[in-house]
Amino acid sequence: MEHGRSMRSFASYAVRTQGNVMAVLAMLLWSTSFPISEVLLMRWDALSLAAVRLGGGALMLTLMGWGIRNRYSWTNWPVRSALVVGAVGIGIGTLALNLGIKYSNPINVSVIATTIPLFSVMLGVIRREETLSLRITAAIGLAICGGILVSWSSTQTQAGFQGGELLMLGAVILWTWYSRVAVTRLLIIPAYPRTVLTMFGGALCLIPVAPVLEGSGWVDLNAPWSRFDFALIVGLCVFGVGLSMVCWMISAEKIGVTIAALHINALPFYVLLLGLMFGGTLLMSQVIGAVLVATGAVLAQIPARRSGETVT
C-alpha cells in the first residue's frame, strides 16, 4: 500500500511539474505578443490584427500538425461548442486586448492580466468548482503583489493610466471564462485541436464583423502587408498566439486554470526581459516581484495534507 501511495505521489508530482513547465513556456511565448502587437498597432487597426492573429495562429498550428486528423477521432467532439466558445472568449477577447494595447502600453496591459487568477477563483467559487482557502488566497495575493511590483517599478519609463486598461479588464474576464470552459466542457477534445478550433471560432467571429463595422463608419480598417509586417505577423501567429495557446491548454489541464493563471502574473517580468534585448534595464524590485509570483505559484500547489486544507 505504501508503494502504491508513493507511486501516486510521484505521478502527481510529475503532472504538476509538467503543468508548471508548460505554464512558464506559455508565458514566455505569450510575452512576445505584447511588443509585437504594439509595433503592428502603429499601422494596423485593432480589429484587423485581432482577426489575423487568430486566423493566422489557427492556420499555422494546422500546418504544423497536418497529420493530427489521423491521430484523433472527431466523431464525438463538440465542434460547434468549441467554435462558439472561441468566438466569444478569444474572438471578442482578443479584439479587446488589441484595443487595450493600442490605447495603453504593454506593461500596463500585462499587469492587468495579473487579475486572471482572482477572476478564475471567483468563477470557480460561484460555480462551486473550487473553494477559496486561506492558502489559495495568500497565493493569489502574493502573485498579484508581485505583478504590481514589477509594473510599478517600470513607471519611470512607461506611461500611467491611459484608458485602454478598461478594455484589457474586459479581455481578462472573457479569457478567464474561456479558459475554464475549455478545460471542462471541451475537455473531450485534445489540447492541440481544441486550440485550433477555438482560435478558428474567434477568427470566424471577427472576419465578417470587420467589413460591416467599416461600412458603418465605426472603424477604419488598415492592414498594410509590408515585408516587415509580414515577418512580425508570422512570429506573432506561430509563437505569441499559436504555440503559447497550446502550452496554456496543457498547463490548465494538468494544474487547473487558477494555478496556471498565477504564472500569468510574471508576464510583466518577461516583457521586461524582452526589453533588455533592445537596450532596456532591469531593476532589483522587478526581480523581487517575479520571485513573489513564483512563490505564490508554489504555495498554491502545496499538497493539502501538509496544511490540512482541501486542494482547489
Does residue 246 fall inside a structural domain? yes
Does residue 11 fall inside a structural domain? no
How far apart (Å, rounded) are the C-alpha atoms in residues 37 and 105? 10
Q: How far is CA 210 from CA 39, 51, 58, 169, in A?
A: 21, 9, 19, 22
Does residue 281 fall inside a structural domain? yes
Does residue 259 fall inside a structural domain? yes
Overall number of domains in the chain: 1
Does residue 7 fall inside a structural domain? no
pLDDT one-digit tens code per residue, 229-281:
999 999 999 998 889 988 988 998 888 887 887 787 777 677 767 767 666 66
- pTM for the whole structure: 0.75
- Distance separating the N- and C-terminal Cα atoms of the chain: 26
How far apart (Å, rounded) are the C-alpha atoms in residues 2 and 39? 57
pLDDT one-digit tens code per residue, 2-54:
555 555 665 677 888 888 899 889 988 988 888 888 889 889 988 888 889 89
Q: Name the one residue in this structure whose C-alpha cell is 517599478.
A: 153
Asked if residues 288 and 149 have their Cβ atoms less than 8 Å apart, the reply is yes
**What's at 155, amino acid-wise?**
T
Closest CA to 152 of 269, 295, 264, 263: 269
Does residue 15 fall inside a structural domain? no
